Amino acid sequence: MLKLDNVTKVYKVGAFGGKVFAAVDGVSFDVQAGEVVSLIGESGSGKSTIGKMILGLASITGGSITVDGVPVKPGKDYYRHVQGVFQDPFSCYNPVFKADRVFQMIKDAYYPKLGDKEWDERVRSTIRDVRLDPDQVLGRYPHQLSGGQLQRLLIARALLLDLKLLVADEITSMLDASTRIDVLNLLAELKERGLGVLYVTHDLSLGNYLAERTVVLRRGTVVEMGATGKVFGDPLHPYTRQLLAAVPRLHAPWEDAAPTQTCHYHENAASGAMFEAEPGHLVACAQLDACPK
């Protein structure tokens, strides 16, 4: 459904934009309907840039992004099927408007002919779907709602459309532990309904909880991807191992990551290509510079 093919994003940086910086460099992966794929990597690895390109909020420098074969095209038709929810729910609302104004905007843009009563019923039922009580949240200003309630209202807003893909960018990082699990379970329910979810996070444990497949990003390139159980259970790239070693554990001291080893696939990998270690589990060469061209 969502397909990224050799996607690149280059920013102009430096004085007068005289230099270029590749924030995303030749990234390819896909998300199928009814699947959660988590995109993980350290801060600055390019995760949000990828999310923004999928949502049409940043231009694509090279390669292609398609949803059901249709290239990203910001506009009503595209956003009917592809929506994003972000880290800070408070910044998504205008503080002087009541929170339900976001629903009215959906009606005005997408369902102008629908009767008010029918729309109201649809909104209330969707709010119940995200496990909120409509009477408790409708008619309130954003500052009168919690972060978790606002985040769920944003998901409800997305669900009122004919949604195929949700880009969820660090959506739980501002929530407390129990609200976080509620929102994660909600995302898991969305996939049961056949939605594809790209779950952008730097928190490996949350990605592990939710995603069928994991894509590990480092400095704008994919270093490893595959079934989450394989990537986390048998990490092949030194960077993935480093990330896993850095996850805090209760009652256990932090471990040092295994030292960077000689790349297993040095002989096999053409520079930049990924090696298929086992079906669906791909890893980049860890010594790209030395790889045969």
Interface with ligand ATP (CB under 6 A), residue total 13
Nearer to ligand ATP, 60 or 159 (CB): 60
The whole-angstrom separation of Cα 266 and Cα 275 is: 10
Question: Which of 10, 62, 39, 25 lies closest to 288, judged by CA?
Answer: 25
Nearer to ligand ATP, 8 or 268 (CB): 8
The mark string for 5-34 relative to ligand ATP (x by CB under 6 A, - otherwise) is ------x-x-------x-x-----------
Torsion (CA) 75, 162, 213, 11 in degrees, nearest 10: 10
Q: Under DSSP, is residue 78 helix (H, G, I), strand (E, B) or coil?
A: helix
Nearer to ligand ATP, 51 or 196 (CB): 51
Of residues 164 through 203, those in contact with ligand ATP by CB under 6 A are 202
Contacts of 284-293 spanning 24+ positions with Cβ under 8 A: 284/221, 284/222, 284/223, 284/224, 284/237, 286/223, 286/237, 286/238, 286/239, 286/260, 286/261, 286/262, 287/262, 287/263, 290/266, 291/263, 291/266, 292/267
- Other beta carbons within 10 angstroms of residue 257's beta carbon come to 16
Told to check if 44 binds ligand ATP by CB under 6 A, we report: yes
The mark string for 70-109 relative to ligand ATP (x by CB under 6 A, - otherwise) is ----------------------------------------
**Window of 38-46, 106-114, 138-146, 233-241 that interacts with ligand ATP by CB under 6 A:** 38-46
Q: Which of 4, 41, 56, 123 binds ligand ATP (CB under 6 A)?
A: 41
User: Shortest Cβ distance from residue 261 to ligand ATP (Å)?
Assistant: 25
Site residues, ligand ATP (CB under 6 A):
11, 13, 21, 23, 41, 43-49, 202
